[in-house]
A and B are shown apart, each in its own frame.
Chain A
Amino acid sequence: MTPTGTIQTTKPLKRLAVHATTTCAEQASAYGKCILATYTDVRRDICKEEFDKFGRCLHEAMKRKW
C-alpha cells in the first residue's frame, strides 16, 4: 500500500480511491460491517452514523467538500 504522504496523483477520483481504501480504511471497514450486519434489510441511512465518520475522514483527507 502507498503511504499517503507520497501520493502525487492529481485526479480527484484517484485521490478518493486512495483515501477510501488506505487513509480511511478503518472507518470504511466499520461502515462495511454495519451494512454486512443488516444487508438483508437495508434502508436509507440505516448506517448513517458509520458513514458520517467515514465521510468526515474522506473530507478531511481530500481537504475539501465535494
Chain B
Amino acid sequence: MNVITSRSLTKTHLLRTQTRRYATISSSGPSPSLTTHTLGPFQVFDRETKRKQRDRAAYKNGGASSRTVDYVRDEIADRMMERLEDIKRKFSTIVDLGSCSGHFAKLLDPSTTRKCIMIDSSHGALHRDPDSEFEVEVKRIHADEENLLQVINPNTQEAIVSCLSLHWVNDLPGILIQIKEALQPDGLFLGAMFGGETLFELRTALQLAEVEREGGISPHVSPMTDTRDVSNLLGRAGFTLLTVDIDEVKVNYPSMWELMDDLRDMGESNAVLGRRHIIHRDTLAAASAIYKELHGNEDGTIPATFQVIFMIGWKPAPTQPKPLERGSGKTNLKDVL
C-alpha cells in the first residue's frame, strides 16, 4: 500500500477509490493479528498506529499534556460511575477493559469494590498515574483489548466495564461475545463508547473543505457505531436485561486548531486503515473557516460534540428474573392505572 508522505503526490492520489483499502492491512507497523476473534472483514482501524498514538500522547511532557485533556474521559467516567452505583451489588474484582490511565478505576469505592484489573494496549497510558491515586487495589495488564480471552479466563469475572475504548475495536460483535464469555453467569457488563454523532462538526467541516478545495473526500473522523445498533449487538452477543442510553458532552474550543491539538493529546488522532497521512494546509485552513461559520457559537468559539452510548448487559443465569409468558397476566392494567 502507498503511504502518502510527499505533498506533491496528494492530488493525484486523492481520487483513488477508497473502497478497496478498508479491507487491506496497513503497511505501517506489524500487521494486526488475525486471530479467530478478528477476522479480515472487520478490519477498519489500524490498531498498531492507535497504540503508538496513545503511547506518544501519554508520554508527552511527562504525562502533563495528557492530563490536561482528561476532561472528556473524566466526565464520562463520572457519568458511568453513576450507573454502577445504581447496581446494588458488591464486587471483589472489576475488570476495566481499555482502562486508559484509570479514569473510571479512580472513582471506584472501596466499600463496594475490592480490586480493579486494568487492561490496556497502551503501556504509556496504563502506567501514567501511580497506584496512590486509586482508592481500590489495582492490577495492570498490558494487553490488546481485542483479545480479552487471552488474558482473562472464561466464566471468571463478576463484572467487566469499558469506558471509551470500544470505538477503536475492529470487531465490536466479537469483543462483546468475548466479554460475555469472560463473565460468570449473572455477571455484569457496563460500557460507554463514543456514538455516531461524535465530532460531527469536525467531520462535516473537513469533508466540505476537502470537496471544495481538492474535489474528493477521505476519512478523517472514524466511522462510529449508531445508537440503534448497540442493543442489537448486545442481544446478539447473548446479554440479557439490556439497558442502553445516550448522553452528550459538548465542549467549546477557541477554534478547530485547539480541538485538533487536544484530540491528538488524548491519543484520539485518526487511525482509520487507508487514511491519508497528511491534510493539505489549504484544506485545513478552509476547514477551520467552515467549522466556524457552519457550527460556531455566537461568542466566536466553536463547539465539539461527544456523543456517548452507555450500555448495561448481564450474562444469562437461571436465577435472573425473566419475563412471564405472553398472555399469562391476570391483572388488568386498567385497574392499576
Contacts and interface: CB of A to CB of B under 8 A. Distances in A.
A62 to B, nearest CB: 9
A4 interface: no
B290 A32 contact: yes
A35 B285 contact: no
Chain A interface extent, by class: 20 to 34
B71 interface: no
Interface string A18-47: 001100000011011101100100111111
Contacts of A14: 257
Interface stretch (B88-96, B205-213, B229-237): B205-213
Nearest to B293: A32
A30 to B, nearest CB: 9
A43 to B, nearest CB: 7
A35 B257 contact: no
Contacts of A35: 208, 212, 289-290, 293-294
Interface string B292-318: 111000000000000000000000000
Contacts of B215: 43-45
Interface of B: 208, 211-215, 254-255, 257, 281-282, 284-286, 288-290, 292-294
Given A21-B288, A28-B289, A39-B294, 10 more contacts: A16-B285, A21-B254, A32-B292, A35-B290, A35-B294, A42-B211, A44-B214, A51-B286, A54-B285, A55-B285
